[in-house]
Amino acid sequence: MRVLIALGGNAMTAADGRARPGDQIAAVTVAMEPVADLVAAGYDVVLTHGNGPQVGNLLVKNELAASVVPPVPLDWCGAQTQGTIGFIVIDALERALAARGVRRRVAAVVTRTLVDATDPGFARPTKPIGRYLPRDEAAVLIDHGETWEDRGERGWRRVVASPEPLEVLDAPAAAALLAAGFVVVANGGGGIPVVREPDGAVRGVEAVIDKDLGAALLGHALGAEALVIATDVDGAVLGFGTPHQRPVGTVDVATLRGYAAEGHFASGSMGPKVEAACRFVERGGKRAVITSLGRIADAVRDHAGTTVLPADITREVAGHA
């Protein structure tokens, strides 16, 4: 069984959110334990990951050095963090596999994701990234071509496009590595956003791709049967923050989309995860699971957290309950 595991940002940082190199290595080391268990049990595993804290750190370095050296573009930040996180994951997973007596090679692929150059997000960027800055500091970065908005008392904040991911261009490379027996890390941060020129060439663009939507797209491209979105909660809930809050367990796509339409899932947190889970199942995946990092193995082997199934399978499960 091939499973794609999407690790959230909490898997890459300390419990208090710190992202120093030592914190990241320690967090990834813990995250790879259940992954190694699955590989040892015979599952064909693909990993993807978030990169928000890491890109955030690079943006701060850009800001502090903007008067000395030109800031690197956002697509470069994505590429750099894919390489760094991939390296850390490879080391940690190889150690965990060796401890279990498993000889499997691990590889990380720096991965590009195609977006539409005419996506509406490019005309009006709305995705806030990075920290707030005073007007004079933001002005330096605006002079370098970045888009910043005045957010009132908190200061100015950079905004970028968050276009719809269309195709994972380097999925064939990941597929070749899987066929050769590798555990593969790919499409970190949703992929490096690129657009296609009229002559067929591609170029990177300043944008952020939602990592969960990118995971669903990669899972479909690689023929994964299951998608596990590992986050910092056990699953989606209805009525979040109210006295009537209740978890969403096993659910079919249509029902889950109905809950989303009713406004149960915040656009900046659970909403994209729910959308990604629905898309994956709608495109032929057998199931998608949203759950906590510690329940990855449970999610793959059985049902854990919020498990999204096709309608016909959901009815079958209910009939045998």
Question: Which of these is catalytic: 10, 51, 62, 187?
Answer: 10
Residue 273 annotated as catalytic? yes
Three-state SS annotation for 192-248: EEEEECCCCCEEECCECCCHHHHHHHHHHHCCCCEEEEEECCCCCEECCCCCCCEEC
- Nearest of 209, 187, 225, 213 to residue 276 by alpha carbon: 213
Residue 211 annotated as catalytic? yes
Whether the CB-CB separation of 52 and 9 falls below 8 Å is answered with yes
Neighbouring residues of 278: CB distance < 8 A, sequence distance ≥ 6 = 253, 256, 257, 260, 288, 308
- Nearest of 44, 74, 70 to residue 56 by alpha carbon: 74
CA distance 306 to 279: 15
Question: Which of these is catalytic: 56, 61, 127, 271?
Answer: 127
CA distance 8 to 241: 22
Question: Which of these is catalytic: 8, 9, 78, 188?
Answer: 9
Question: Which of these is catalytic: 188, 273, 285, 305?
Answer: 273
Question: Which of these is catalytic: 211, 214, 219, 305?
Answer: 211
* Tokens 């955030």 found at: 56
Residue 10 annotated as catalytic? yes
Structural Rg of the chain based on CA atoms: 20
Q: How do beta strands 183-186 and 44-49 pair?
A: parallel
* Catalytically annotated residues: 9-10, 127, 211, 273
